Amino acid sequence: MAKTVTDVICPFCGTLCDDLEIQVSDDGTRILEVYNACAIGAEKFLHSQSKDRVTRPRMQQEDGSYKEVSYDEAIEYTARMLVNAKKPLMYGWSSTSCEAQSIGHEIAEAVGGIVDNTATVCHGSSLIAIQDVGIPSCTLGEIKNRADVVVFWGCNPSHAHPRHLSRYSIFPRGFFTGKGHKGRKMIVVDPRNTDTMKMADVGLQLEQGRDYELLSALRVAFRDEELPDVVAGIRKEKIYEAAEIMKNARFGVIFFGMGVTQSLGKNHNIDIAIMVTKDLNEFTKFSIIAMRGHYNVTGSGAVLGWQFGYPFATDLSRGFARYNPGETTANDLLRRDECDAVFVLGSDPGAHFPISSVKKIARLPSVAVDPHITPTTEISKLHVPVAFVGVEVGGCCYRMDNVPIESRKVVDPPEGMMTDTEFLTRVRDRVAELKAQAPVGAPSAAEPQEA
Amino acid sequence: MAEILIKNGFVFDPVTGVKGDKKDIAIRDGKIVDSVSSSAKVYDASGKTVMAGAVEIHAHVAGPKVNEGRNYRPEDKLFVNRAAESKGTRTTGGFSIPTTFKTGYSYAKMGYTVVMEAAMPPLYARHVHEEIRDTPIVDEGAFPVFGNNWFVLEYLKNNEVENTAAYISWLLRASKGYAVKIVNPGGTEAWGWGLNCLSVNDPVPYFDITPAQIVKGLIEANEYLGLPHSIHIHANNLGNPGNFSTTLDTFRLAEGYRANNRFGREQTMHHTHVQFHAYGGDSWLNFESKAPEIMDYVNSHPNLTIDTGNVTLDETTTMTADGPFEHHLTELNHLKWANVDVELETAAGIVPYVYSPNVKVCAIQWAIGLELALLARDPMRCFITTDHPNAGPFTRYPRIIKWLMSKASRDERLNTFKHADKVISATNVGGMDREITFYEIAQMTRAGPAKALGLSAMYGGLAPGMDADVVVYDINPETSFSGEEIERAFSAASLVVKTGVPVVEDGRVINNGNKRTLWVDAKVNENAQVMRDVEEKFLKFYSVNLNNYEVQGHHYIPNPFAIEVDATQ
């Protein structure tokens, strides 16, 4: 007889589904089956069970091979690396709990580090746009209960947030939306003919990189002003049609993704998308929501916000918090050789940063804390495997609409493995000891190598 | 625990009725006591003023809208971020929406030991509690919002007070909340469709209930439960010229109800930031003060308490669960607008605002806030707030105290406004000679709010048995002092003791104290209907599961203090 754990939170994407059911073995050590999750979410739970999982820290040797080390040695290396560095980059924080982020920030404050999260290569441009023009938004349950017009702009939830459509945005029957998807108009804007595009009532397949123009054209159309015959590759009749649907919504929403945040125009695309939403509030009720990627990147922005005042790219190297995207963002620091050590937790820059940045990480003293073997762990001097948050340990996570949900522990981690918070707490305490006994900059085994 | 003796200060304490007499305050084991042994640590407070720790009854200091305000306003941090001040403290930042660490330190330095977060969206309760956890020193509670909650609207439409009470009890426990907060009753639900309720009789779309019914029903449910605090309301029609009549209509809804509780609370309604609700005229051109009309009513109705919401003339960040108002404001000032509608529960909006002394309306608002306090006949029912950060940051309390205690400082400010003549003719403050006394300040910032919150047994006074929250200010009430000296003294206390632990000395934080999270555990008889309704709403309409809703666990509330209420009989 297996037992079932219910109401499990999926620690994969920003949709943060909280209705998974997971069958575990009687002794509570093995996951047997995952119900209700999408393919990606299920894989995350099942992958934690893989036989070849690394369960102890590993130090990379001169020849590229790995030597297993104890957690104590890993803590000592990490603490010394951070204390000795003048300006360590502490990057990631998006696939871990808010408690871990909080301890990480204490360490960063103590060592004068820079804390940046994955928004830096994802929705950071959205955060900058929000700082420019604000954001009218709502929770996902509001969409479910009220929305009759749903716009997906530069995002493809069918693949990237697979249960978004069924849980919140298109299919569910809510309080004022008893007809489900039959009562909703779906507008999709994307240069690609994605699987989401194929479902659209109105599909606007625009020319790549012309989002700003099309958004601007919508603002013109809302005001019943003249448009050129074609904007961004879309005929004006189609633009007027979309504008009318949006204006006549009872309650509308725009979801947007990386297609607009990281393509030509970046934060300016989001600026004008938000202004489109604001315009629509003259006629009806409209919201706009970023399709955040990692399951707790939103939480990282929240914790950074209440502790230091900025949602990412927070430089603590002067003792107080500074924020200047372009200067204090991870890639800019790496490429300018401004940081002299790299600590990564809860992200995989090795896979997602430009190769020029990745090469810099490879040359620096570096620690990667991650349950998986990733491109980042492969280029880091030290890999510290930890328990999976949301699978083997609980903790607070923030959904893409900023709603905080406590993730659950489903099974025990492999014998003797530490969690993020345990590891960080030990590092924090060791950093405090080292700072108390030795002047900063004392030589150690973790001195940067010649670049 | 160590003993402390604070000697020879001029003590102002409404609870024991001490009005500036020289007196020693003795502390043992976190409580005020009659006397201590000779081994007590002695602080010499000669020539200084001694009061209980101050109690903040209404401020937006923790939670999703506060944090969105921080994150979307990097400009609020310009030139004010600082490295940690001393060992054991954290880096600080932000002006109108300070970081959690700065919030805790700043309150403590001014002598505040208790702070109430004024609006908690229940779905975001975890976020509120995480921020409260990271706000050092001060004890905190949070008020979940009920005035636009679908359960409440549906129950009260049918006059089901007992079910409303059972739901309140359930939600207070689930969100670890302290009191029943109402913001723009019905209007925020209407905002779900881009609409609003501007009077107490405007029907709420679909739910077919009026703000008046919501408010009366929640008063009844609140008194049915016997909660420590009364309903805490921000009425309809905030911020609009001529809205004083809506405010009076709202006040009248509380007539005929009696406070039912074991906490010594006497009021059945607390109306917050009344400055924003005391406007005459019908446009910004003939905008004027209606503080006298408002205070006439307040003075003659002991079932009512208010706080002021004083405008401090700063650049600040407005934020409220009154979603439609913030949209209205962004249309007025064209500054960046953030909004969040929260499923089944509430909404919130944020817009930066510059209260400029060069703008007539801002100066009139400044005057109205002061008039409310100056016209209050019972300082135990009128409390000083800035509705932080809406009318200004809480860090300006010392300046408001200056304006209230010194007519010279007040007149100097009034007479140097760009449109001084127009401001003087639209207000009454120029003709007011009253100067609030130290004793009245202690009533308005300590004993009064503590009593209104149902916390008079613990906070707001210096009677033996009460929590040892004691503050020493470096100002001698028996000599003459200037307004500037008042502001300086109240900005940085010489000594703050929080539950028996010295946390501030000479205006510097020396200890993070023993912070607690206050919440109300109200027990009611099992109510199958309400529990069925809760299950149904979560199954069908919420975007989270019922089992993932309740705030539980040490990492949210490391040091809880539950106030128990039994409404099962």
Whether chain A has a CB inside 8 Å of the CB on B64: the answer is yes
How near does any CA of chain A get to the CA of B160, in Å?
21
Determine which of A4, A16, A139, A297 to mutate to test the interface with B (most B C-beta atoms within 10 Å). A139
How near does any CA of chain A get to the CA of B94, in Å?
7
Confidence band of A449 (pLDDT split at 50, 70, 90): very low
* The token pair that represents B320 in the structure block: 């409220």
Neighbouring-strand partners of residue B471? B51, B496
Nearest to A307 among B99, B191, B337 (CB): B99
Determine which of B126, B317, B341 to mutate to test the interface with A (most A C-beta atoms within 10 Å). B341
b/e B322-342 (16+ beta carbons within 10 angstroms → b): bbbbbbbbbeeeebbbbbbbb
Average confidence (pLDDT) over A296-306: 98
Whether chain A has a CB inside 8 Å of the CB on B55: the answer is no
pLDDT, position A29: 86
B93 → chain A, closest CA residue: A308
Tell me the one-letter amino acid at A427: V
> For A157-191, how does the pLDDT look when each residue is reduced to its tens digit (9 = 90+)?
999 999 999 999 999 999 999 999 999 999 999 99
How near does any CA of chain A get to the CA of B101, in Å?
7
How near does any CA of chain A get to the CA of B517, in Å?
18
Average confidence (pLDDT) over A13-25: 96
Cβ atoms of residues A83 and A431 within 8 Å: yes
CA–CA gap between residue B209 and residue B207 (Å, rounded)? 6
A145 → chain B, closest CA residue: B541
Considering only CB atoms, which chain A residues are within 8 Å of B127?
302, 398, 402, 404
> For A193-233, how does the pLDDT look when each residue is reduced to its tens digit (9 = 90+)?
999 999 999 999 999 999 999 999 999 999 999 999 999 99
Answer yes or no: do A138 and B340 touch at CB < 8 A: yes
Nearest CA to B557 out of B169, B174, B259 is that of B174
Nearest CA to B135 out of B550, B564, B518 is that of B518
Determine which of B60, B61, B71 to mutate to test the interface with A (most A C-beta atoms within 10 Å). B71
**Which run of H or of E encompasses B546?**
none
Nearest to A305 among B71, B338, B347 (CB): B71
The set of residues, in sequence order, having a beta carbon less than 8 Å from that of A249 and lying 6+ positions away, is A147, A148, A149, A185, A280, A284, A285, A286
pLDDT, position A2: 80
* The token pair that represents A20 in the structure block: 């998974």
Cis peptide before B379 (omega within 30 of 0): no
Q: Is B35 exposed, middle or buried (0-12, 13-18, 19+ CB in 10 A)?
A: exposed
pLDDT at A440 over 80: no
Cα B359 to the center of its chain, rounded Å: 26
What are the start-end ranges of the H helices in B161-210? 161-175, 187-190
Nearest CA to B342 out of B65, B75, B154 is that of B65
Q: Is the dihedral of CA A431, A435, A440, A445 positive or negative?
A: negative
pLDDT, position A439: 62
Whether chain A has a CB inside 8 Å of the CB on B543: the answer is yes
Whether chain A has a CB inside 8 Å of the CB on B505: the answer is no
pLDDT at A447 over 80: no
pLDDT, position B397: 98
Tell me the one-letter amino acid at A428: R
Answer yes or no: do A144 and B543 touch at CB < 8 A: yes
Answer yes or no: do B342 and A138 touch at CB < 8 A: yes
CA–CA gap between residue B197 and residue B290 (Å, rounded)? 22
Whether chain A has a CB inside 8 Å of the CB on B91: the answer is yes
Whether chain A has a CB inside 8 Å of the CB on B544: the answer is yes
First to last CA, chain B: 40
Determine which of A173, A306, A307, A399 to mutate to test the interface with B (most B C-beta atoms within 10 Å). A306
Same fold for the domain at A58-119+295-437 and the one at A124-290?
A: no
B 129-158 → A contacts, CB under 8 A? 130-131, 134, 150
CA–CA gap between residue A183 and residue A415 (Å, rounded)? 51
**Residue-range domain boundaries for chain A:** 3-47, 58-119+295-437, 124-290
> For A138-158, how does the pLDDT look when each residue is reduced to its tens digit (9 = 90+)?
999 999 999 999 999 999 999
CA–CA gap between residue B160 and residue B179 (Å, rounded)? 19
Average confidence (pLDDT) over A254-276: 96
Question: Which 3-state string (H, E, C) describes chain A?
Answer: CCEEEEEECCCCECCCCCCEEEEECCCCCCEEEEECCCHHHHHHHHHCCCCCCCCCCEEECCCCCEEECCHHHHHHHHHHHHHHCCCEEEEECCCCCHHHHHHHHHHHHHHCCEEEEHHHHCCHHHHHHHHHHEEEEECHHHHHHHCCEEEEECCCHHHHCCCHHHHHHCCCCCCCCCCHHHHCEEEEECCCCCHHHHCCCEEECCCCCCHHHHHHHHHHHHCCCCCCCEECCEEHHHHHHHHHHHHCCCEEEEEECHHHHCCCCCHHHHHHHHHHHHHHCCCCEEEEEECCCECCHHHHHHHHHHHHCCCCCEECCCCCCEECCCCCCHHHHHHCCCCCEEEEECCCHHHHCCHHHHHHHHHCCEEEECCCCCHHHHHCCEEECCCCECCCECEEEECCCCCEEEECCCCCCCCCCCCHHHHHHHHHHHHHHHHHHCCCCCCCCCCCCCC
A&B contacts, CB < 8 Å: 187
CA–CA gap between residue B253 and residue B271 (Å, rounded)? 12
Answer yes or no: do B67 and A19 touch at CB < 8 A: no
How near does any CA of chain A get to the CA of B110, in Å?
21
CA–CA gap between residue A394 and residue A18 (Å, rounded)? 13
CATH code reported for the domain at A124-290: 3.40.228.10
Considering only CB atoms, which chain A residues are within 8 Å of B552?
406
**Which run of H or of E encompasses B351?**
strand B346-354
CA–CA gap between residue B133 and residue B122 (Å, rounded)? 17
pLDDT, position A1: 62
Nearest to B336 among A133, A285, A398 (CB): A133
Considering only CB atoms, which chain A residues are within 8 Å of B95?
none
The set of residues, in sequence order, having a beta carbon less than 8 Å from that of B151 and lying 6+ positions away, is B164, B167, B344, B530, B533, B534, B537
ipTM score here?
0.97
* The token pair that represents B75 in the structure block: 């400009």
Neighbouring-strand partners of residue B317? B352
Pairing status of strand B4-13 against strand A404-407: unpaired
CA–CA gap between residue B350 and residue B329 (Å, rounded)? 9
Nearest to B67 among A141, A250, A302 (CB): A302
CA–CA gap between residue B132 and residue B126 (Å, rounded)? 10
CA–CA gap between residue A428 and residue A439 (Å, rounded)? 17
CA–CA gap between residue B246 and residue A8 (Å, rounded)? 47
pLDDT, position A438: 66
CA–CA gap between residue A270 and residue B369 (Å, rounded)? 39
> For A60-111, how does the pLDDT look when each residue is reduced to its tens digit (9 = 90+)?
999 989 999 999 999 999 999 999 999 999 999 999 999 999 999 999 999 9
**pLDDT tens, residue order, chain B (569 aa):** 589 999 999 999 999 999 999 999 999 999 999 999 999 999 999 999 999 999 999 999 999 999 999 999 999 999 999 999 988 999 999 999 999 999 999 999 999 999 999 999 999 999 999 999 999 999 999 999 999 999 999 999 999 999 999 999 999 999 999 999 999 999 999 999 999 999 999 999 999 999 999 999 999 999 999 999 999 999 999 999 999 999 999 999 999 999 999 999 999 999 999 999 999 999 999 999 999 999 999 999 999 999 999 999 999 999 999 999 999 999 999 999 999 999 999 999 999 999 999 999 999 999 999 999 999 999 999 999 999 999 999 999 999 999 999 999 999 999 999 999 999 999 999 999 999 999 999 999 999 999 999 999 999 999 999 999 999 999 999 999 999 999 999 999 999 999 999 999 999 999 999 999 999 999 999 999 999 999 999 999 999 999 999 999 999 999 999 999 999 97
How near does any CA of chain A get to the CA of B134, in Å?
8
B 159-198 → A contacts, CB under 8 A? 191-194
A99 → chain B, closest CA residue: B555
CATH code reported for the domain at A58-119+295-437: 3.40.50.740
